[in-house]
Amino acid sequence: MRLQHLTPRSRLYLAGAIILAVGLIAAALVYFLAANPTDTGAAGYRIVGGNVYALTLAESTRELQEVERVGGKSAVLLLEFHRWFLSLWHGRRLAYTLALLSAAVALLCFYVAGLMGEDVGDRPAQ
């Protein structure tokens, strides 16, 4: 089957299938190659002057209290959302993120292809 002979609907279905397959393979590779998180007891890390310092839970709580004092509850919520969002792009969570994004894009391709209507070759002879 040559790509030039495919209808736009078929091309969109093919693109969705390729995106899904490549995304799931990439997610599997990331999942199995990602380092297992080590439990260091650190609630987070702070980089100062090129040096990495582990933050304990008490220091993290103190930091959140300072942020709340300066910016209010909304600043604390935004900081927590920011930390959560950044955590999606590291380690095994990245594998889950890749799988979810590839599935969402593939489903979008399938949905749009379904909206395109029937192919001319799919109509029954009358």
Q: Which domain holds residue 31?
A: 13-114
In a domain, 34, yes or no: yes
In a domain, 57, yes or no: yes
Tell me what the pLDDT averaged over the chain comes to: 84
Cα distance between residue 103 and residue 31, in whole Å:
16
Q: For the chain, how many structural domains are there in total?
A: 1
- Judge whether residue 122 has pLDDT over 60: no
| Cβ-Cβ contacts under 8 Å for 45 (sequence gap 6 or more) | 52, 53, 54, 55
Q: Work out the average pLDDT over 55-80.
A: 83
- Looking at residue 54, its pLDDT comes to 76
In a domain, 47, yes or no: yes
Q: Work out the average pLDDT over 11-16.
A: 94
Q: Which residue has the higher pLDDT, 110 or 8?
A: 110
In a domain, 1, yes or no: no
Q: Which residue has the higher pLDDT, 92 or 41?
A: 92
